[in-house]
Amino acid sequence: MKKYIILLRGINVSGKNKIQMAALRLLLNELNFQNVQTYIQSGNILLDSEEDSMAVCQKIKKGIRNSFGFDVPVLARTVKEWSHVIENYPFPIENEKIVAFTFLNMASKETGITIKNSEEDQYRIVNDVVYLYCPTGFARTKLTNNSIEKKLNVIATTRNLRTTLKLLELATI
């Protein structure tokens, strides 16, 4: 049995693509996943499964479509993969408010992208993650999910350092 950290892209607390976490946990249990947990109302899930990550993603995506009536991109990482991403963060972690990780649905062949007006913000693309360091803050950065998706032709979802670390902590308890 593998422990997965699952990320849903575009789940909102209110408005479009709203899913209550209690309803999502119920669905995932009905789909026969084990030890299902959610963390905050933004599509962060921990669960156990015998299936590989691609099968897990497809099963969750289909379940959400059938139960809630819309499509949501789903990304999965094992705890080992998640830990590796954190360990390899290439920038200083002096201020957690400017550190984030953009998880991609597949490895990128690109190692660089041009985004206008990104000023002091830095990034590094490594396989299926984009490491972000945004001294101007995330409210001002041009390194958004949408811009990364367009430049790399992938699905992307970003988590800040605090959430990324908390998900690892919850997965290893």
Predicted confidence (pLDDT) per residue in 123-161, tens digit: 999 999 999 999 988 888 888 899 999 999 999 999 999
Average pLDDT score over the chain: 92
Q: Which two tokens stand for residue 136?
A: 């101007």
Q: How many domains does the chain have?
A: 2
106 and 71 co-located in one domain? no
Instruction: Say yes or no: 98 and 151 in one domain.
Output: yes
- Which of 27, 60, 79 terminates a domain? The answer is 79
> Is residue 50 a part of any domain in this protein?
yes
20 falls within a domain: yes
- Residue 156 and residue 91 share a domain: yes
What does the alpha-carbon distance between residue 114 and residue 164 come to, in Å, rounded to a whole number? 26
Query: Does residue 173 belong to any structural domain of this protein?
Result: no
Instruction: Tell me which of 79, 113, 147 is where a domain ends.
Output: 79
Cβ atoms 116, 142 nearer than 8 A: yes
Q: Which domain holds residue 22?
A: 2-79
The verdict on 40 and 64 lying in the same domain is yes
Residue with tokens 């308890």: 173
Q: Please compute the mean of the pLDDT values over residues 159-168 and round it to a whole number.
A: 95
Of 20, 55, 79, the residue that ends a domain is: 79
d(CA 42, CA 83): 20
pLDDT value at residue 7? 97
pTM above 0.85, yes or no: yes
Q: Where are the alpha helices (DSSP H) in 21-160?
A: 21-30, 53-68, 79-87, 145-152
pLDDT, position 13: 59
**Strand 122-126 relative to strand 129-133: parallel, antiparallel, unpaired?**
antiparallel
In this structure, the answer to whether residues 97 and 135 fall within a common structural domain is yes
46-50, Cβ contacts within 8 angstroms, sequence gap of 24 or more: 46/3, 46/4, 46/5, 46/6, 46/167, 46/170, 46/171, 47/3, 47/4, 47/6, 48/1, 48/2, 48/3, 48/4, 49/1, 49/2, 49/4, 50/1, 50/2
